[in-house]
Amino acid sequence: MSAELFDPWSAEFVARPYPAYAWLREHAPVHWFEPSRQYLISRHEDVNALLRDRRLGRSYLPVASHEEMGRSAPPAYEEPFWTLNNNGMLDREPPDHTRLRRLVSQAFTPRRVEALRPVVQRLADGLVDAFVAAGGGDLIAAVAEPLPVTVIAELLGISEADRHLLRPWSAAICGMYELNPSRESAEAAVRASEEFSDYLRSLARRRAAEPQDDLVSALAAVEGLSEDELIGTCVLLLNAGHEATVNVTGNGWWALLRNPDALARLRAEPELLPGAIEELMRFDTPLQMFERWVLEDIEVRGVSIPRGSEVALLFGSANHDPAVFSDPERLDLGRRDNPHISFGAGIHYCLGAPLARIELASSFGALLAKAPDLRLDREPRWKPGYVIRGLEALEVSA
Ligand code: HEM
């Protein structure tokens, strides 16, 4: 076993990253990884601390230019992607981040989210009923994807006729969040960014003129949010608001089907469901890695990391750290103390966590109740992506 096992471009690693993480945590908790020119951070304590450390940022642009950080600016043709990305709150830093998060929270209120619970449950029940009536199929295409995409589309106020556009745009844009994306992925992301921005610009203008009861109208009415920020926010809500939820559903059911004792226990004790969802998010982490720029020299476990460096925070590894989770490779749906890091920590802590929990409780609950004989038909395959890690399909009989 060695650090070479950390190979995010290999299918074997994507299928089973956990042994390499165990090696890193034990032997090289702060490890320079030349292929992506990042320091890999693998222990829970360090990932958690660095997420909260204001000497690091998701972007360095508020404090330094590309040249000052010893980096080159992205190629000009990628500009539409970066404009979109840099206008969402996730890639802003205080004070801009604070302002944007506050403004979006004003529209994306706990009341608006809680009001969605019965809507989400109805949608989940409908999708699962159709899935069971068909005798099963691909759980990801039939249930895991349409649920969060429909919820976020409803929330934003995107018409049913246009919803088929969302997932391809989101998938193309998210290709840029993988390590060292290819020119082809970058071009697809740029095209999607242009199309999606144009679409939202026109929708926002229509809603500003004729408001309806949706989030785009609410955001259009918020003072101090520019049109580009509104667009960046909606794209972020769509991308962040479904990619991970799809993968928790797929990865989670695959984990349950591989662990029939755990699944039987959950069927027998449905009150375990909320804790079980947290455990599934820990056990097979849907977003394996988040990056941060080092804005001032820091030291982690005796390793000096200079300003201008990038650290890769390995969430999947933090979630399997035996210093925090007893018997971490075991799926324990009754686990009590579960400070998993899947929703992040610090100022960028997931704004959508309450909605994600509602969606997951609805779809897992509906499948447990309505598909008591769910069986795996075919060994699933992992998609090539490592950062956003999920299955291509999950073929089951119901
Ligand atoms: C299980 C599903 C989800 C997971 C695992 C997840 C995970 C995360 C993580 C780890 C971050 C922080 C990233 C960082 O610190 O670099 C984040 C941020 C964010 N998430 Fe989620 N998320 C999920 C679902 C959602 C949903 C349903 C929404 C909204 C509808 C959402 C909206 C956001 C937003 C807006 C941010 C940016 C917050 C900020 O920058 O202040 N997420 N999410």
Residue with the bigger pLDDT between 300 and 179: it is 300
174: pLDDT strictly greater than 90: no
Greatest C-alpha distance within the chain: 62
Q: What is the per-residue pLDDT for 15?
A: 95
226: pLDDT strictly greater than 80: yes
Amino acid letter, 347: I
Whether the Cβ atoms of residue 313 and residue 289 lie closer than 8 Å to each other: yes
Separation CA 339–CA 318 (nearest Å): 10
Q: From the CB of 89, is ligand 1 less than 6 Å away? A: yes
The Cβ of residue 53 has, within 10 Å, a number of other Cβ atoms equal to 18
Q: What is the DSSP string of 70-114?
A: T-PPPPGGGHHHHHHHHTSGGG--TTHHHHHHHHHHHHS-HHHHH
Q: From the CB of 236, is ligand 1 less than 6 Å away? A: yes
Average pLDDT on 52-66 reads 92
**Rounded distance from Cα 97 to ligand 1 centre (Å):** 14
Q: What is the per-residue pLDDT for 106?
A: 84
Separation CA 251–CA 140 (nearest Å): 10
Give 202-222 pLDDT, tens digit per residue: 999 999 999 999 999 999 998
Among protein residues, the one with the nearest Cα to ligand 1's atom 16 is 290
Separation CA 83–CA 188 (nearest Å): 15
* Residue 71 confidence class, pLDDT cut points 50, 70, 90: confident
Q: From the CB of 216, is ligand 1 less than 6 Å away? A: no
Give the tokens for residue 192: 């999607």
Q: What is the DSSP string of 19-31?
A: HHHHHHHHH-SEE
Nearest-CA neighbor of 229 among 64, 75, 58, 103? 103
**Rounded distance from Cα 249 to ligand 1 centre (Å):** 16
Q: What is the per-residue pLDDT for 178?
A: 82
Sheet with 289-294, edge to edge strand ranges: 30-33, 38-41, 310-314, 289-294, 56-57
Separation CA 348–CA 361 (nearest Å): 23
Task: Point out which residues pair with 292 in neighbouring strands.
Answer: 311
Amino acid letter, 370: K
**Rounded distance from Cα 333 to ligand 1 centre (Å):** 23
Separation CA 62–CA 93 (nearest Å): 7
Separation CA 276–CA 367 (nearest Å): 14
1: pLDDT strictly greater than 60: no
The Cβ of residue 264 has, within 10 Å, a number of other Cβ atoms equal to 11
Among protein residues, the one with the nearest Cα to ligand 1's atom 43 is 350
- On average, the pLDDT of the chain sits at 94
* Residue 28 confidence class, pLDDT cut points 50, 70, 90: very high
Atom index in ligand 1 nearest the CA of residue 287 equals 5
Q: From the CB of 146, is ligand 1 less than 6 Å away? A: no
Whether the Cβ atoms of residue 246 and residue 140 lie closer than 8 Å to each other: yes
Whether the Cβ atoms of residue 390 and residue 139 lie closer than 8 Å to each other: no
* Residue 177 confidence class, pLDDT cut points 50, 70, 90: confident
Average pLDDT on 99-104 reads 91
Q: How far is CA 316 from CA 10, 30, 41, 254, 389, in A?
A: 16, 15, 11, 16, 10
Q: From the CB of 290, is ligand 1 less than 6 Å away? A: yes
The Cβ of residue 168 has, within 10 Å, a number of other Cβ atoms equal to 13
Q: From the CB of 244, is ligand 1 less than 6 Å away? A: yes
Percent of residues, the chain, with pLDDT higher than 90: 83
Q: From the CB of 240, is ligand 1 less than 6 Å away? A: yes
**Rounded distance from Cα 273 to ligand 1 centre (Å):** 21
Instruction: Say what the pTM is.
Output: 0.94
Average pLDDT on 252-273 reads 97
* Residue 223 confidence class, pLDDT cut points 50, 70, 90: confident
Average pLDDT on 254-270 reads 97
Least confident of 107-111, 123-127, 334-338: 107-111
Average pLDDT on 373-388 reads 94
306: pLDDT strictly greater than 80: yes
Q: What is the per-residue pLDDT for 163?
A: 93
Among protein residues, the one with the nearest Cα to ligand 1's atom 39 is 348
Average pLDDT on 270-282 reads 97
Q: What is the per-residue pLDDT for 4?
A: 66
Q: From the CB of 90, is ligand 1 less than 6 Å away? A: yes
Q: From the CB of 237, is ligand 1 less than 6 Å away? A: yes
Among protein residues, the one with the nearest Cα to ligand 1's atom 9 is 343
Percent of residues, the chain, with pLDDT higher than 70: 99
SS3 of residue 10 by DSSP: coil
Q: From the CB of 282, is ligand 1 less than 6 Å away? A: no
Q: What is the per-residue pLDDT for 3?
A: 59
Whether the Cβ atoms of residue 24 and residue 295 lie closer than 8 Å to each other: no
Whether the Cβ atoms of residue 166 and residue 238 lie closer than 8 Å to each other: yes
**Rounded distance from Cα 353 to ligand 1 centre (Å):** 7
2: pLDDT strictly greater than 80: no
Separation CA 366–CA 360 (nearest Å): 10
358: pLDDT strictly greater than 60: yes
Q: From the CB of 277, is ligand 1 less than 6 Å away? A: no
Atom index in ligand 1 nearest the CA of residue 347 equals 41
Q: How far is CA 166 from CA 7, 247, 259, in A?
A: 31, 17, 34
Average pLDDT on 67-71 reads 87
Q: What is the 3-state secondary structure (H, E, C) of 112-171?
A: HHHHCHHHHHHHHHHHHHHHHHCCEEEHHHHHHCHHHHHHHHHHHCCCHHHHHHHHHHHH
Q: From the CB of 286, is ligand 1 less than 6 Å away? A: yes
**Rounded distance from Cα 344 to ligand 1 centre (Å):** 8
Give the torsion sign (CA, 153, 155, 158, 159).
positive
Dihedral pair phi/psi, residue 366, rounded to 5°: -65, -40
| Candidate from 350, 363, 387 with most ligand 1 atoms within 8 A of CB, to mutate | 350
**Rounded distance from Cα 162 to ligand 1 centre (Å):** 24
The Cβ of residue 212 has, within 10 Å, a number of other Cβ atoms equal to 10
